Amino acid sequence: MYGLIGNPLGHSFSADFFNKKFQDEGIDETYRLFPIPEISDIENLIGNNLDLKGFNVTIPYKQQIIPYLNALSDEAREIGAVNVVKIDRYNNKVILTGHNSDVIGFRETIAPMIKPHMKKALVLGTGGASKAVIHALKSLGISVTSVSRKRSENTITYNDLTSAIIGENHIIVNTTPLGMWPNIDESPAIPYIFLTPDHLCYDLVYNPEITMFMSKSKEMGAIVKNGLDMLHAQALAAWEIWQA
């Protein structure tokens, strides 16, 4: 058995994706959703599900899960966030190893869309997903500025976004849950009026298919993409990690 931990999980397509994969390929496994109120609940979850071989991690636990792990892959350690955990059981000992397949999924799906003039990016949000996105963008030679509600080192606020800043950052990635079902009328507070057809606006949210962030960006002519292809790519990478 495999699964997904997070809170909430009503938006997730992961169970449908994996269970269809298992059925199509004749794999005798199941994938379940495990909404846990606190990250500390992970210990009981693993102890009560002895057939659990691995799980994905989503909002808000991609960073909080790390202290509960026995080991990290080099990339997960460098990124500072985990979205895949492999479980190995040796007699009565449980070994949890954290990996990050978000970086693979995002890099594979945005790379074909990047045009020569796209040298700089704004990453909206500073959670676990943003860390994988930043890592991927930098590996593609893109300069990154983070945007959050609070200013900090290497991070500006939404109120700092001017015409000039939007104009020179042709890639904008939403890593926040704003606009995710059921709160589909929400969107990051950026000045959409400054977007142009030279911009690429990528939303990690995939439910709904067209988010408010994407809709407002598309109205200004920007190229838009949701996170569904990323979900599929990172899920396949997770499966390879579990089978290794």
Pairing of strands 223-225, 155-157: unpaired
Asked if the peptide bond before residue 60 counts as cis, ω within 30 degrees of 0, the response is yes
131 catalytic, yes or no?
no
**Residue 128 to residue 79: CA distance in whole angstroms:** 9
Structure tokens at 221: 């002519």
C-beta neighbour count of 48 within 10 angstroms = 8
d(CA 196, CA 147): 19
CB 60 within 8 A of CB 8: no
The rounded Cα 131 to chain-centroid distance in angstroms is 9
Copy the structure tokens of residue 82. 């985990």
Kindly name the residue from 20, 21, 62, 138 that is annotated as catalytic: 62
What stretches of the chain adopt beta strand conformation (E)?
A: 2-6, 31-35, 54-57, 71-72, 84-90, 93-99, 120-124, 143-148, 155-157, 171-174, 200-203, 223-225
Q: Which amino acid is at 145?
A: T
- DSSP labels, 30-62: -EEEEE-SSGGGHHHHHHH-TT--EEEE-TT-T
> Which residues belong to the active site?
62
